Amino acid sequence: MKYKSTRGNKESKSSAEAILKGIAKDKGLFVPDTFPKIDKKLEEMIYMDYKEVAFYILKKFLGDFSDEDLKDAIEKAYDEKFETKEIAPIVKAGDAYFLELYHGKTLAFKDMALSILPHLLTKAAKKLGEDKKVVILAATSGDTGKAALEGFSDVDQTEIIVFYPDNGVSEIQKRQMITQEGENTHVVAIKGNFDDAQSGVKKIFNDDGLGKEMENHGFVFSSANSINIGRLVPQVVYYVYTYIELLKRGDIKSGEKINFVVPTGNFGNILAGYYAKKMGLPIHKLICASNKNNVLYDFLNTGVYDINREFFMTNSPSMDILISSNLERLLYELSDHDEDVVNTLMNQLDGETKKYTITPNMKENLQGFYGGFTTEEETIATIQTVYDESKYVLDTHTAVAYKVYEQYKEESKDETKTVIVSTASPYKFTKSVIKGVVASTKEKNEFKLIEMLSKNTGLSIPEPIKNLDKKPILHDIKCEKDAMKDTVKEILHI
């Protein structure tokens, strides 16, 4: 298995090289040159647990890692840091299944990949003889940051710098980051939104002058965002695991197609589902759920991607994104690997127009997707309805997904069994979730609301956030959005 850039600089990289570099020289994203196939009968896989499925899938994508390397990384990633034995439990509520991806240390789906990425990256560096210290650079809309900080904390020969929008994350998300321990961890609040943070990180990656300065001081950049193929590939695992788990339960028959509904902003999570489908997993529809920042909804329905629009801060902040980086990988597939088309579209997005229109053939290739979006009011109402009917508590992002699922059912009349990808614990967004569970409250303190949510629902408070408000604040750096490069240099003393 080799990896090449979406923008076609003809570089062919091993998986270790792609993971260590994070982004290609031509600013493109690394993609597999061919897609491996699921070559076992799915009914033969029902005796595999999450770790075994992970090994089976990762082995196909990361061929230059030895079996011993992969098994060691998997064992260290999916251990007792997850509060459930299954790693990714699947719960039936109403007429849908909920894939709970939030039982790791940071209470969000990013743990599924960021628990293993540090192990893959350090093994890749060793394999390639990289003697420089690896500087992990990440932008976050709330969840990636904490998961990356947790994963790379005190990992030898690494530094990690996370940028987040100062007023664009929940209080719980912010506290998780600014209290992060680890001598090599650095957290920076920027005066801007997530798109500003993400664009700033990309500019730093593509700054050749800074890259040379870094080398001279013994550093090399890599990424923890889902632009890194080492982040994306582990996410394919839970789609395959979900299917065989439903098969094991007898809820579906082998070969029966299912739907997945994914709340997404940066398009990485749903893209992993698309990759699973490309491998042969029987998926009927990938349903993309957006909030008021509905640029992906418009794209999937019109073929036009246009970021000339107002940016909204919503009660599902991890989806408050207008520039969906991973969509570039989908464009590569939709265009039948035409790098010239991808280059043209991305140049249009980066240029004056800030938008692009895909070709009719590419739009035809989007038939496996459905896009929907919800308002903040609908999100809260959905939390309330699902709780009233089934006593199941949704976080705001999962509520967005469930509401879009309802829209899809009403519009399509499709009776296909459907899995809602539940991306975060309700406790990460308690201030909003409580509105759908408790009639009204004057309480504003988010940590007291955690206790209230537990008392009213019987839902146990996850260990990682118990006494979070009492932890000392260890990170208090702030910077302007155009000062990110200088801030990186100050942190690294270069």
Query: What are the catalytic residues?
Result: 110
HEC string of 93-152 equals ECCEEEEECCCCCCCECCHHHHCCHHHHHHHHHHHCCCCCEEEEEEECCCHHHHHHHHHH
The amino acid that residue 424 corresponds to is: A
**Whose CA is closest to 450, among 397, 489, 393?**
393
H helix runs in 181-251, sequence order: 194-205, 208-216, 229-249
Q: Find out whether 386 and 93 touch, Cβ atoms under 8 Å.
A: yes
Bridge partners, 100 (sequence order): 422
Exposure string of 218-235, with b = 16+ CB inside 10 Å and e = fewer, is: ebbbbbbbbbbbbbbbbb
**Whose CA is closest to 190, among 199, 302, 420?**
199
The token pair that represents 465 in the structure block: 């956030």
H helix runs in 311-423, sequence order: 327-334, 339-350, 360-364, 376-390, 396-412
Q: Find out whether 219 and 133 touch, Cβ atoms under 8 Å.
A: yes
H helix runs in 217-267, sequence order: 229-249
Cα–Cα distance for residue pair 319/70, rounded to 1 Å: 31
Q: Find out whether 411 and 422 touch, Cβ atoms under 8 Å.
A: no
Task: Give the Å distances, CA to CA, from 364 to 204, 335, 360, 368.
Answer: 36, 10, 6, 9
> Which is it for strands 133-139 and 158-165: parallel, antiparallel or unpaired?
parallel
Cα–Cα distance for residue pair 244/98, rounded to 1 Å: 15
Residue in the block written with tokens 């064992």:
75
